[in-house]
Amino acid sequence: MTKITVEKEVVLSRLLEIVEKLMQSDPFLQERIDKTKLSQILAQALDKVSLEELIYLSEKELIKIVNKIMVRQAVSGTLNELDREQKEIFEVIVEGK
């Protein structure tokens, strides 16, 4: 294994541990997140960032990053689940801001 591959595996392992902790503590995430898909998203994201920087981030910082990704994943597609009336209400609210 190359150094980059080892570093990626280390970081991905840390991220997946955080995913598990966050999912255990949040029923909403448990219901809405596909762990396999999320693992793939995280692995692909690691190809686009500096692994060296991520390795040295604190647990707290990694939790913030992973939580944002998970919430985004959990709510993506939510608008597609709304009926026509709910979408109209949502649009009115968003336009008002």
Tens of pLDDT, residue by residue over 36-72, are 999 999 999 998 888 888 888 999 999 999 999 999 8
- Binned at pLDDT 50, 70 and 90, residue 19 comes out as very high
Tens of pLDDT, residue by residue over 20-42, are 999 999 998 998 899 999 999 99
Helices 59-75 and 3-25: crossing angle in degrees, nearest 10, is 70
**Can you tell me the distance from the alpha carbon of 80 to that of 71, in angstroms, rounded to the nearest whole number?**
16
Q: What is the pTM of this model?
A: 0.76
For position 23, what pLDDT does the model report?
A: 95
